[in-house]
Amino acid sequence: MVNNLSPDDPLQIGRYRLIGRLGRGGMGTVYLGQDETGQRVAVKVINPEYSQHEQFRVRFRREAESASRVRRFCTAAVLDAALDGDQLYVVTEYVDGPNLYDAVQSSGPLRGSSLDALAVGVATALTAIHSAGVVHRDLKPSNVLLSPVGPRVIDFGIARALDTLSGITGTGQLMGTPRYMAPEVLRGAPASPACDVFSWGCLVAFAASGRAPFGGESLPSIVYQVLNTEASLEGLEPALRGLVAATLDKDPVRRPTAQQILDQMVGRTTPERAQHTVVQTWQTQTTAAARPGTTATSGQPATLAGQPVTGTGYPATVAGQPPTIAGQPPTVAGRPPTMAAPPPRPGAAGVAAIVGQKKLIVLAVIVVAVAALGLRAWLSPSGPPAELSYNLYRDDFNEGGTGWGGGEYTGKEYNTYGYAPGGFYAVDVDDQHTERIEKAPLPFVPKQPATPVPSATPTPTTPEQLLLTVTTSLREFKGPGEYGLFCRADEESRQSRYEFLLTAQGEARIRRITKGTGGNLTPPVAVSDLKQGAKLQAECATTDQGVRLRMWVNDEPVQSYVDNSGAPASLPNGDVGFLVRVPEKSGATLKASFDDFTVQGPALAAPKRD
* Listed residue (200, 170, 175) closest to 185, CA to CA: 175
d(CA 439, CA 446): 13
* Bond into 322 cis (ω within 30): no
Cβ distance 113 to 65 under 8 Å? no
- Given 138, 155, 249, 596, the catalytic residue: 138
CA distance 376 to 385: 9
Whole-angstrom distance, CA of residue 237 vs CA of residue 112: 8
Q: Is 138 a catalytic residue?
A: yes
Q: How many CB atoms lie within 10 A of CB 210?
A: 15
Q: Which amino acid is at 445?
A: V
The verdict on whether omega for the bond into residue 336 sits within 30 degrees of 0, i.e. cis, is no
Which residues lie closer than 8 Å to 426 by C-beta, 6 or more apart? Answer: 409, 411, 416, 417, 418, 419, 420, 475, 591, 592, 593, 594
Query: Which is nearest to 284 in space by CA: 369, 361, 353, 367?
Result: 353
For residue 203, what is the DSSP state?
H
Residues in the chain: 610
End-to-end Cα spacing for the chain: 57
Residue 44 marked ligand-binding:
yes
Residue 235 CB partners (closer than 8 Å, separation 6+): 109, 205, 208, 209, 210
- 20 burial type by CB count under 10 A (0-12 exposed, 13-18 middle, 19+ buried): middle
Annotated binding site: 44
Annotated binding site for ATP: 44
Q: Which residues are catalytic?
A: 138
